[in-house]
Amino acid sequence: MGSEMCIRDRHEGLKMDNIFVQGMLAATVAGLVTGIGGFMIFLKKRYFQDNINFLLNIAAGVMLAAAFFSLLSPAMSRIIRFDPDIHVAAFWYTGAVFAGVALVWILNEVLPHEHNNMGHHGMNFSLKTAWLFIIAITLHKIPEGLAVGVAYSAEDFMNPDSLVLGIALHNIPEGLTIAISLVAAKCSRLKAALTAAAIGLVQPLGAALGLVTMGISEKIVPLGMAMAGGTLLFVVINEILPETYGVKKTEKASFALFLGFICMTYMNIVLD
């Protein structure tokens, strides 16, 4: 009996180690995709705000679909199963989503950063302003990595692949905006692209936090999923959409948003 328990514990330990490695690897690969966006700085002589906004709105649609179908929806189903009282379950679920929103909100308030205010990378841009803007994007990497870590912790009842793919696609325009801001601040294109790739490596730090925290208890996992979904909602609604809709070309922005959402919804169904 004791040997069977020992074998079972060892098996569980190996499974947890495997999940941790897979989650960290997925977060690292998704983070490095930021570098692909960074090296897109070499593809065109000049990127205008319209180009960046269109890509960011596609990314926003992708992230919304990933947040809803890969995190928020399965978390809701799981939390309802854990508690027979629907009112208590609803309280835990909405509380976890709000906690995720509040977490990124507090980070935004505490850490100095600046939003995107450039028209294209041919204009002058101070290095300090560029780095304040880059800090804002770096803040996004932590909750995105957290979402990946939580998703891999919950792989027994969901497929994390669609979420990782969505975050990776979202990282491409973010990497490009990092490179554009640095080029506008008179940095070389190569340095700007490499910086974008390096910023993407913040994502595994968030994943490690999610993987370690979610390993504490089975009941924490769906709450962590709801919280991670809340962080992604905040990133899209408070950080991306106000920037892209501020130029008043709402039809083009809406088309890009719906395009990203529909494409990610299709991929989520196929991958799951």
- Sign, CA dihedral 5-9-10-12, equals positive
Instruction: Give the whole-angstrom CA distance, residue 74 versus residue 192.
Output: 38
Instruction: Give the whole-angstrom CA distance, residue 95 versus residue 125.
Output: 41
Instruction: Give the whole-angstrom CA distance, residue 121 versus residue 43.
Output: 13
pLDDT in tens, 189-205: 999 999 999 999 999 99
Which pLDDT band holds residue 259 (cuts at 50, 70, 90)? very high
Q: pTM for this one? A: 0.78
The answer on pLDDT for 37 being more than 90 is yes
The answer on pLDDT for 4 being more than 90 is no
pLDDT in tens, 161-187: 888 998 999 899 889 988 988 888 888
Instruction: Give the whole-angstrom CA distance, residue 58 versus residue 42.
Output: 21
